[in-house]
Structure 1
Amino acid sequence: MTESRPHALFSFGTLRDERVQTALFGRTVPSSPASLVGYTTRPLKITDPDVIAASGLDVHLTLECRLGSVVEGAVLRLTEEELAAADAYEVDDYVRRRVLLSSGESAWAYLDADPLRSAARIVIVGDSIAYGRCDPQGGWAARLAAGHIAENELDHRVFNLAIPGSTLADVAGQTPALLGPRRPDTLLVAAGINDSAVPLAAGQPSPDGLAHLADSLAALSAAARDHNARLVVLGPAWLDESRTADYEGLRFTESRALTLRETLRTWCTEHHVDYLDAWEPLHGAPSLLTDGIHPTPEGHEALYHHLTAGLRR
Structure 2
Amino acid sequence: MTESPAHTLFSFGTLMDERVQTALFGRAVPTSPASLAGYTTRPLQITDPAVIAASGLDVHLILERRLGASVEGAVLHLTDRELAAADAYEVDDYTRRRVVLTSGESTWAYLDAKPLRPAERIVVVGDSIAYGRCDPQGGWAARLAAAHIAGNEARRRVFNLAIPGSTLADVSEQTPALLPARRPDTLLVAAGINDSAVPVGAGDGDVRPDPAHVDAGLDSLAATALRHGARLVVAGPTWLDEDRTRDYEGLRFTRARALALRASLRCWCEANHIDYLDMWEPLRGNGGLLADGLHPTAEGHRELYRHVRAVSC
TM-score by length of 1: 0.96
Structure 1 position 165, deviation (Å) = 0.2
- TM-superposed CA distance for 1:246, in Å, is 3.1
Whole-angstrom distance in 2 between the partners of 1:163 and 1:201: 26
One-letter amino acid matched to 1:114: K
Query: What is the match of residue 280 of structure 1?
Result: 281
Residue 12 (1) aligns with residue 12 (2): yes
- Find out whether 1:232 has 2:226 as its counterpart: no
CA distance in 1 between partners of 2:236 and 2:10 (Å)? 29
Distance 1:151 1:40 in 2: 17
- For 2:96, what is the secondary structure of its paired residue? strand
On the 8 A contact 1:114/1:310 being kept in 2, the answer is yes
Counterpart for residue 299 of structure 1: 300
Pairing 1:251–2:252 present: yes
Mapped pair 1:169 → 2:166? no
Cα offset, 1:309, TM superposition: 1.0
**Residue by residue, what CA displacement relative to the aligned partner does 1:125-149 show, whole Å, maximum 9, x if unpaired?**
0000000000000000000000000
1:198 corresponding residue in structure 2: 198
1:147 aligned residue: 147
For residues 127 and 248 of structure 2, the distance between their equivalents in structure 1, rounded to whole angstroms, comes to 16
8 A contact 2:172–2:218 mirrored in 1: yes
Distance 2:299 2:287 in 1: 11
Query: Does the aligned pair in 1 maintain the 2:209–2:260 contact within 8 Å?
Result: no
> In structure 2, do the counterparts of structure 1 residues 310 and 267 end up closer, same or farther at CA, with 3 Å as the change threshold?
closer
3-state DSSP of counterpart to 2:24: helix
Partner of residue 178, structure 1: 178
Unaligned 5+ segments in structure 2 are: none
Contact 2:209-2:261 within 8 A present in 1 as well: no
Q: C-alpha distance in 1, partners of 2:97/2:43?
A: 19
Partner SS state of residue 130, structure 1: helix
Q: In the TM superposition, what whole-angstrom CA distance separates every residue of 1:3-22 from its partner, at most 9, and x where no partner exists?
A: 42110100000000111001
**Where does residue 119 of structure 1 map in the other structure?**
119
Partner secondary structure for residue 243 of structure 2:
helix
In structure 2, how many angstroms separate the alpha carbons of the residues matched to 1:302 and 1:105? 40
- Secondary structure in structure 2 of the residue aligned to 1:158: strand
Q: Which secondary structure state, in structure 1, belongs to the residue aligned with residue 210 of structure 2? A: helix
Instruction: Supply the distance in 2 between the matched residues of 1:290 and 1:182 (Cα, whole angstroms).
Output: 32
Map Cα deviations across residues 56-90 of structure 1 (whole Å, 9 max, x no partner).
Answer: 11111000011000000000000010000000000
- Cα distance in 1 between the residues matched to 2:249 and 2:240: 15
Distance 2:3 2:259 in 1: 43
Separation (CA, whole Å) in 1 of partners of 2:209 and 2:125: 18
SS class of match (1:243): coil
In the TM superposition, what is the alpha-carbon distance from 1:248 to its structure 2 partner?
3.4
RMSD value, Cα: 1.6
Note the C-alpha offset of 1:243.
1.0
Residue 200 of structure 1, CA deviation: 1.3
**Is 1:8–1:76's contact at 8 Å kept on the other side of the alignment?**
yes
CA apart distance, 1:210: 3.2
**TM-score, structure 2 length as denominator?**
0.96
- Matched to 1:239, the amino acid is L
Aligned partner of 1:33: which letter? P
**Partner of 1:269 in structure 2?**
270
Letter in 1 for 2:293: G
Q: Is the 8 A contact 2:209 2:257 kept in 1?
A: no
Q: Are the aligned partners of 1:37 and 1:69 in contact in 2 as well (CA < 8 Å)? A: yes
Q: Give the Å deviation of 1:154.
A: 1.1
Q: Could you tell me how far apart the structure 1 residues matched to 2:210 and 2:277 are?
A: 18
Aligned residue number for residue 38 of structure 1: 38
Deviation at 1:2, TM superposition (A): 6.8
Partner of 2:53: 53
Give unmatched runs, 5+ long, in structure 1: none
Maintained 8 Å contact 1:117/1:310:
no
Residues 243-264 of structure 1 show CA distances to partners (whole Å, capped at 9, x for unaligned) of 1253332111111000000000
